Amino acid sequence: WRVKFSPQDDTRFEYWKRMEFTAEQWRGLKEHADERDLLFLSSPFSEEAVDLLTDIGVAAWKIASGQITDLWMLERLAKTGWPVLFSTGMSPLEEVEWAVGWARGKGLDVAVMQCTSAYPSTIGGVGLNVMADFRDRLGVAVGLSDHTGTIYPSLAAAALGAQLLEVHATFSRQSFGPDVPASVTFDELRTLVEGVRATETMLANPVDKDAVAVEMASMRELFTKSIVARRDLDAGATLRVEDLATKKPAQGISARRMHDVVGKRLARALVAGAFLQEEDIEG
């Protein structure tokens, strides 16, 4: 907090003081979110912040991992009855279980987000597997709070069933600020939202492979192969691999049955290129 942080500020503390919003500015953000039909969220880091946000109104309490054990703050925000979203970047599993138990004891809806407390975090350190651990062990809605500065982890999390996604956003990667390396641009955010919606559509529409194969029967006939005579073959000839070939469309014995027909005797003569049928084989 005491080291020089920016050209304008002697310390990090001075930077945060310069960047903080007034109560009216927070209300302005809430009003803008309402106008745009967005859910307004903000993470409190003190009891005073809880009071301010209670007055303004938030859709849920987003709790940073460093605040999970701040029971003074938690008890204060629990009085609202609003849902709680726990971020878990620095928390061991036991602590997360305790927090979820506390929220349930207060009758609060609760969700848990896997998070890596690095800014930026690496792709390899995202920890997508933890979401399933949370879901199975705690029985809660799960999500991902991502700090890689890319859209890839969130897309992967959506495909794995994440119900919540959090990313940081910046107007430009040329901007100054501690969050910029861990942020996506607004163009990337748009692409992420489109990708998540597409993923939701795919997950909501499972495909039955056998049913699709039936629907595509005519195409299968055109594009799959059957066994044909490679050369003219006499009746009674014992079929060898070198006597046979495969050809489209599928109008005879399937090409995958090569081992079934090799060694069998022909019941009738075949000209080169003729499709091999079941009745062409003795026995």
- Per-residue pLDDT reduced to its tens digit, 80-91: 999 999 999 999
Query: How far apart, in Å, are the Cα atoms of 240 and each of 66, 196, 254?
Result: 73, 54, 16
% of the chain residues with pLDDT over 90: 91
The CA-based angle 75-142-116, given to 5 degrees, is 85
pLDDT at 5 exceeding the cut of 80: no
In the chain, list all ranges with CATH 3.20.20.70.
12-203
Mean pLDDT of all residues belonging to the chain: 95
Could you read off the pLDDT of 183-242 as tens digits, one per residue? Answer: 999 999 999 999 999 999 999 999 999 999 999 999 999 999 999 999 999 999 999 999
Q: Residue 266: CB partners within 8 Å, gap ≥ 6?
A: 233, 234, 235, 236, 237, 239, 280, 281, 282
Residue type, 150: T
User: Model confidence at 2, in pLDDT bands (50, 70, 90)?
Assistant: low
Q: Are 207 and 244 in contact (CB under 8 A)?
A: no
Q: How far is it, in rounded angstroms, from Cα 205 to Cα 248? A: 32
DSSP state, residue 264: P
Structure tokens at 102: 């506390």
Q: Which two tokens stand for residue 41?
A: 């969220």
CA proximity to 42, closest of 34, 50, 72 = 50
pLDDT at 15: 86
Quote the pTM value. Answer: 0.85
Quote the pLDDT of residue 245. Answer: 97
Segment (H or E) for 49: helix 47-56
Find the DSSP H helices in 160-271: 186-203, 209-215, 217-223, 258-261
Q: pLDDT tens across 71-81, in order?
A: 999 999 999 99
CATH class of the region 12-203: alpha beta
- Please tell me the predicted confidence (pLDDT) of residue 34: 97
pLDDT digits (tens, 9 = 90+) for 133-185: 999 999 999 999 999 999 999 999 999 999 999 999 999 999 888 889 999 99
211-280: in CATH 3.40.50.12780: no
Distance between CA 179 and CA 117 in Å, rounded?
12
Q: Please report the pLDDT score of residue 262 as a whole number.
A: 97
Residue 234, phi-psi category: left (phi > 0), alpha (psi -120 to 50), beta (remainder): beta
Overall average pLDDT of the 235-254 stretch: 96
Residues of the chain with CATH 3.90.1210.10: 211-280
